[in-house]
Amino acid sequence: MSYVFDLERSAKGLRLNRFLHSLIDAAQRKLFLEQPEAAMEELSEEEKDMVRRLDWRAMQDYGASFFCLEKLARTKGVSNPEMVAHFRGETLEAFLRTRRVPGAR
């Protein structure tokens, strides 16, 4: 499948992306960490489920922008190499073995 973030994906992912984007606000991050269901009120059940499970691949396939997913990752303390490994379908350790400087993160 194509992962190009085009207007079709943007339209489908708008509500989810809006939630992910809201995490640039410190108060919203606090709410999400303390009362996730309250922070996710606007989302559909399907969307909430993907966020609860931090299923990066499912969110990406659904229409989440990588750059909006980064906001959720930072809030939950997940690094980009961890997300990239997830997209590739491998463990972080396996992904790092493919890198030139695994400590540079």
Contacts with other proteins, residue ranges (CB under 8 A): 1, 3-7, 10, 14, 17-18, 21, 23-26, 29, 60, 65-68, 70-75, 80-81, 83-84, 87-89, 95, 98-105
CB of 7 to other proteins, least distance (A): 7
Residue closer to other proteins (CB basis): 53 or 99: 99
Count the neighbouring beta carbons within 10 Å of the beta carbon of residue 28.
16
> Which residue, 84, 68, 60, is CA-closest to 24?
68
Residue closer to other proteins (CB basis): 44 or 98: 98
Cα–Cα distances (Å) from 38 to 21, 28, 29, 102, in that order, read 16, 10, 12, 38
DSSP E strand stretches across 23-75: none
CB of 27 to other proteins, least distance (A): 11
Which residues 6+ apart lie within 8 Å of 45 measured at CB? none
CB of 91 to other proteins, least distance (A): 13
Residue closer to other proteins (CB basis): 41 or 77: 77
Residue closer to other proteins (CB basis): 35 or 98: 98
**Euclidean distance between CA atoms 86 and 95, whole angstroms:** 9
